[in-house]
Amino acid sequence: MTMVRLAIPSEGQGGLDGMRAGHFGHCDVFTCIDVEDGQIKQVSILANKEHVQGGCMVPVNLLAEAGVNALVVGGIGMRPLMGFKQVGIEVYHDGVRPEIRPVVEDFVAGKLQHISNDQVCGGGH
């Protein structure tokens, strides 16, 4: 029985019916979804911190401290991606859908792919 805490960078107040944030480091909150045996057990909201130039490791540290072990992004820079790998958080990619719920459902169903190094972006991470 394995529990996964998934984080989705989100706009506004977040939540399963909320909208994803396109800019990972600039999101308002992270919607955190605890998934166990293919079921959503709990949803919590983690406020993001101020984004400062060069502060890529702030959200990495924030999510690691919150026990997150998976993240779905639309885009991310190389440094935070490497940081997440270093702290053991797996990073998945969905660059299309703005809604949180279908992305979470696809994650639970095992349909999302890990982001690859050649999919990293600059800026707005």
Partner 1 sequence: MTILFVAKDFSRFSRLVDRLRREQDVELVPAATGASGLEQLRGKRLDLVIVDEQLDDMSGIEFVKQLVKVNPLANTAIVGSLEDEAFHEATEGLGVLMQLPAHPDEKDGEALLAVLAKIAILMQPVAPKAAS
6 by DSSP, 3-state: which? strand
18 contacts: CB under 8 Å, gap ≥ 6: 10, 11, 12, 31, 100
Q: Among 36, 41, 66, 105, which residue sits at the site for partner 1 (rule: CB under 8 A)?
A: 66
Nearer Cβ to partner 1 (3/78): 78
23 contacts: CB under 8 Å, gap ≥ 6: 9, 75, 124, 125
Sole window of 72-80, 89-97, 100-108 interacting with partner 1 (rule: CB under 8 A): 72-80
Binding site for partner 1 (CB under 8 A): 13-16, 31-32, 42-47, 49-50, 52-58, 61-62, 65-66, 76-80, 82-83, 85-86, 120-123, 125
